[in-house]
């Protein structure tokens, strides 16, 4: 089938490349001429493992194209996917649908023949109705169906999630729309991916409800971690014990500095605003959002406390700047809430991230960005592990210790290292939700 993806950002580019890999002919459209020119030359504007190979392969085989010409791409398409950004709107936290609205109007003008318009962007409930009304107002003669098809891709594992999904949600009650969407996803039938058809509004809400629930799991285990610190229990044991219950499951039960990224913060807030407008209180999700924001800002105090209550004229080394590993995405990253308060308290900051340095630089002024973890640790009083990149899981702790100032401190916000191993190398060590150890105490 011929598919057009409006928006060549993260969702649009990954989805378009994967659809092309299924054998469809895909055109990705974007208004950013520089981005399109870069993609045509093979320069991928985002970091996602494996994406460069899939893009290059499908461009070479004539299944994937990039253009700024929306009219032609839409006119030739069997299905047009809207994959533009829906950031939080300034001032009220609602999803900003201005890009969706603009795309809808442009699509309407270019429609030729029966076309399925698919909302891939994360949008509030009822957006599909608004898109349908806008297109109908612009083109009363057009033959089209609006379908909701939310994405469930994890940054850093997006290609695997797209090709081996645990579900595909399609919101439509129109038989023609259902047939087209079934054909688009037919290549996944061999993987036995469940194709769940619902009405459009339910599909839109499934995305928000899923993200809110996962955010709730993260926040719950973070609160359990705080309780563990008070009671002398180990949150990792708590998480394992809970996760073995198949009604709960082990995923998203990893204590840390709070969730960030492009989805959970904005989607929980947008869901709260939607519920407020509908007159339905979402008290759990509201508290999750408030607790998470407070948690991210509280991490700086943990570092200050680890250095005896002051970081004045101290050097703090930060390992990991992106909100999670295997991405260069800095949106709502915990590092952005951690570093400025430390600077305000008088600390000098050094930092390293395997992929996020270019994106972090304009967001973190007066931070010395280094080339590797060991250069980052040089002359530091405390080393803070913020993002759990695999390359940080087996650091040469002796080399780190030698590089740092005397009496080094390691604050592990991701519980990467066993406490006893770190202390055996002469560090004062603090982690999240695990018992503090006295010097010489042996705990695995």
- Residues marked active site are found at 263
Determine the Cα–Cα distance for residues 71 and 408; give it in Å rounded to an integer. 61
| First and final C-alpha spacing in the chain | 56
Please state the φ and ψ torsions of residue 366, each to the nearest 5 degrees.
65, 25
The sign of the torsion formed by the CA atoms of 302, 308, 313, 319 equals negative
CA angle 14, 162, 135 (to 5 degrees): 65
Determine the Cα–Cα distance for residues 79 and 182; give it in Å rounded to an integer. 12
Helical residues (DSSP H) of 25-172, grouped into ranges: 33-40, 51-60, 70-75, 98-110, 127-138, 158-163
Determine the Cα–Cα distance for residues 3 and 28; give it in Å rounded to an integer. 9
DSSP string, 157-225: SHHHHHHS-S-EEEE---HHHHHHHHHHTGGGGGGT--EEEE-HHHHHHHHHHHHHHHHHHHHHHHHHH
Determine the Cα–Cα distance for residues 271 and 194; give it in Å rounded to an integer. 25
DSSP string, 282-307: -HHHHHHHHHHHHHHHHHHHHHHHHT
Q: Which of 369, 273, 279 is nearest to 321 (CA)?
A: 369
Q: 225 and 170 in contact (C-beta within 8 Å)?
A: no
Q: 138 CB contacts (<8 Å, ≥6 apart)?
A: 105, 108, 109
Determine the Cα–Cα distance for residues 31 and 45; give it in Å rounded to an integer. 14
* 312 exposure class (CB count in 10 Å sphere: 0-12, 13-18, 19+): exposed
Q: 306 and 371 in contact (C-beta within 8 Å)?
A: no
């Amino acid at each position: 089938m011929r598919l057009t993806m409006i928006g060549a950002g993260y969702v649009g580019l990954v989805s378009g490349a994967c659809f092309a890999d299924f054998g469809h002919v895909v055109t990705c459209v974007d208004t950013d001429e520089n981005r399109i020119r870069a993609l045509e030359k093979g320069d991928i504007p985002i970091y996602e493992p494996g994406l460069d190979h899939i893009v290059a392969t499908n461009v070479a085989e004539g299944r994937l194209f990039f253009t700024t010409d929306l009219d032609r791409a839409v006119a030739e398409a069997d299905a047009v996917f809207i994959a533009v950004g829906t950031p939080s709107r300034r001032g009220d936290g609602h999803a900003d649908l201005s890009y969706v609205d603009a795309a809808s109007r442009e699509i309407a003008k270019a429609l030729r023949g029966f076309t399925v318009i698919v909302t891939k962007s994360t949008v509030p409930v009822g957006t599909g109705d608004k898109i349908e009304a806008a297109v109908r107002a612009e083109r009363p003669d057009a033959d089209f169906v609006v379908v909701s098809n939310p994405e469930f891709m994890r940054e850093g594992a997006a290609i695997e999630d797209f090709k081996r999904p645990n579900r595909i949600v399609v919101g439509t009650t129109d038989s023609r729309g259902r047939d087209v969407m079934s054909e688009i996803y037919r290549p996944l039938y061999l993987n036995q991916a469940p194709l769940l058809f619902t009405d459009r509004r339910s599909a839109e809400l499934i995305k928000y409800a899923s993200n809110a629930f996962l955010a709730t799991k993260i926040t719950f285990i973070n609160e359990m971690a705080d309780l563990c610190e008070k009671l002398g229990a180990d949150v990792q044991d708590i998480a394992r014990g809970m996760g073995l219950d198949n009604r709960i499951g082990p995923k998203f039960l990893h204590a840390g500095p709070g969730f960030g990224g492009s989805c959970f913060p904005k989607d929980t807030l947008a869901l709260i605003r939607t519920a407020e407008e509908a007159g339905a209180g979402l008290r759990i999700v509201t508290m999750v959002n408030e607790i998470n924001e407070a948690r991210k800002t509280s991490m700086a105090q943990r570092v200050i406390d680890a250095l005896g209550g002051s970081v004045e004229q101290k050097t703090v080394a930060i390992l990991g700047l992106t909100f999670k590993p295997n991405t260069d995405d800095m949106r709502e990253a915990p590092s952005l809430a951690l570093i400025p308060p430390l600077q305000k308290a008088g600390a000098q900051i050094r930092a390293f991230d395997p992929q996020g340095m270019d994106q972090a630089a304009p967001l973190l002024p007066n931070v010395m960005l280094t080339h590797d973890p060991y250069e980052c640790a040089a002359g530091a009083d405390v080393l803070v592990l913020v993002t759990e990149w695999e390359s940080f899981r087996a650091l040469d702790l002796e080399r780190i210790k030698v590089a740092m100032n005397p009496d080094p401190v390691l604050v592990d916000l991701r519980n990467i290292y066993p406490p006893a191993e770190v202390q055996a190398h002469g560090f004062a060590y603090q982690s999240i939700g695990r018992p503090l150890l006295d010097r010489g105490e042996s705990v695995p």
